[in-house]
């Protein structure tokens, strides 16, 4: 069931949980994510990050993602993650994405604001939703960057007062905030400040807050973030890692002399990613067990 981000976040808000948002740079991940959500009967967001263009181009990913969303028996949002140019956002909307994220977080505030206003207009005109980012998660989704946890984290946290102005002028459907998380594998234990989320929610009149850099956060950390007002959690690195580990284990356990077939590795990776996503959805959905 294909829906947009605003519709899926309405479900999360009403039930006080967060919807998992998972990158799908390959078909194994896409199948595993949808299967996990259907088994748990939970809404889910599948997303394509611009940094994965070299793995699968947007124009090739879109038909696969949209087809999977439409035939799923749970609500599925097809979202563009970390779109860095207006041209790329426009292409995603033309291909049928129901949600886009403009990432101007590395730009000066006024430039980020100006571009986000344009992106918001494009999205809403197409009947889609929009997310944007204020503050800095350090490394990009691809893992580039130099954030190691050694600097003063508070300097790059989202400013709740600035968020009020940003949300009011851009008419966002969701805001990605910096409150101590980062993309990729954590080099140090994250220091999460949930009061940032609470204050952003208060100042903006309850904007759904997005948590990027979800991989590596403890279950307790996730639950505290959700209670503070996080309604969308991006999760990719550890899901991807689980698939890679499963494929490596398959090769390691293969009897000597037996050939390695890629299809076997793909099946092993898909099963592992599905189970990893199921666990993440249970936590984000505040489910017992």
The residues that are catalytic are 81
DSSP letters for 111-129: HHHHHHHHHHHHHHHTT-E
Distance CA 230, CA 159 (A): 16
Distance CA 157, CA 155 (A): 6
Distance CA 129, CA 83 (A): 13
Is the Cα torsion angle 215, 221, 224, 225 positive or negative in sign?
A: negative
Is the Cα torsion angle 132, 143, 283, 181 positive or negative in sign?
A: negative
Closest to 183 in 3D by CA, of 150, 145, 153: 145
* Owner of token pair 């910096």: 178
Is there a contact between 65 and 78 (Cβ–Cβ < 8 Å)? yes
**CA 90 to the chain's CA centroid:** 19
> What's the CA dihedral at 65, 167, 89, 94 to 10 degrees?
70
Largest CA distance in the chain: 64
């Amino acid at each position: 069931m294909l829906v947009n981000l605003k519709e899926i976040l309405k479900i999360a808000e009403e039930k006080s949980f967060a919807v998992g948002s998972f990158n799908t740079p390959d078909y194994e991940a896409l199948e595993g994510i949808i299967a996990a959500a259907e088994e748990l009967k939970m809404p889910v967001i599948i997303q394509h990050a611009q940094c994965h263009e070299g793995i699968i181009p947007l124009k090739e990913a879109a038909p696969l993602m949209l087809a999977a969303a439409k035939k799923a028996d749970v609500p599925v949002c097809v979202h563009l993650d970390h779109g860095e140019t207006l041209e790329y956002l426009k292409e995603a909307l033309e291909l049928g994405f129901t949600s886009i994220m403009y990432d101007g977080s590395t730009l000066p505030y006024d430039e980020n604001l100006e571009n986000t206003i344009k992106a918001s207009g494009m999205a809403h005109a197409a009947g889609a939703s929009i997310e944007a980012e204020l503050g800095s998660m350090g490394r990009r989704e691809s893992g580039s960057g130099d954030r190691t946890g050694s600097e003063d984290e508070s300097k790059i946290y989202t400013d709740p007062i600035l968020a009020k102005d940003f949300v009011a002028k851009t008419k966002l459907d969701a805001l990605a905030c910096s409150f101590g998380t980062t993309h990729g594998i954590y080099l140090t234990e994250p220091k999460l400040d949930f009061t940032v989320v609470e204050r952003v929610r208060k100042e903006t009149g309850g904007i759904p807050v997005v948590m990027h850099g979800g991989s590596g956060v403890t279950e307790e950390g996730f639950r505290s973030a959700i209670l503070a007002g996080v309604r969308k959690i991006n999760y990719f690195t550890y899901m991807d890692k689980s698939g890679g580990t499963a494929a490596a284990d398959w090769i390691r356990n293969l009897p000597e002399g037996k050939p390695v077939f890629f299809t076997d590795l793909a099946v092993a990776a898909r099963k592992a990613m599905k189970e990893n996503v199921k666990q993440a959805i249970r936590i984000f959905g505040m489910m017992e067990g």
